[in-house]
Structure 1
Amino acid sequence: MLRTLFSGARDAVARVLIPDAAATVKKAWSLRLIELAAVTDIILNVVPVVSDFLPWWLTLVLLVGAWIARHLIQNKEPANGDKA
């Protein structure tokens, strides 16, 4: 019952906030890179053994990549919002 309630609420919010949520998620590279940077930072801080294999600056590189994806790549795409 809760699963049905939450999925219905999620669909309703997605329809209200973003008309074409599936296409937006496919193009949201900056969000993916930010999430990957967060996971990398958590792994580097929680699991000390991994810090020998992953460099400390990997989080910074991913965040710079997210900034580039947001400002340079996503701005070239045409706006596909509601034109009502």
Structure 2
Amino acid sequence: LKKFLKSGNSAENDINLVVLEGEVVAEIINYTKNKEVDLIVMSSHGYKGLAYSMKGSITEKVTRYANCPVLCLKNNGQHFI
């Protein structure tokens, strides 16, 4: 993401890289409530079955509670920009 931001392919101030500490879902949701966020982009591991029920889905929870659209990219998937 840092490389993409430096490449000039994004307009200045249109994309922000944010690093937060704490409980993941709560921090993301609280950040979007306090800032003007147009879109959340995050990856998903795509866990299924027992792994999903044991770990839960952070992406699913963020998608459910976010007050803006969420773009979910599959981990190790093919992406086009």
Does the alignment reach a TM-score above 0.5?
A: no
Comparing both structures, which one devotes a greater share of its residues to strand? 2
Comparing both structures, which one devotes a greater share of its residues to helix? 1
TM-score calculated relative to the size of structure 2: 0.31
TM-score calculated relative to the size of structure 1: 0.30
In terms of Rg, which structure is larger? 1
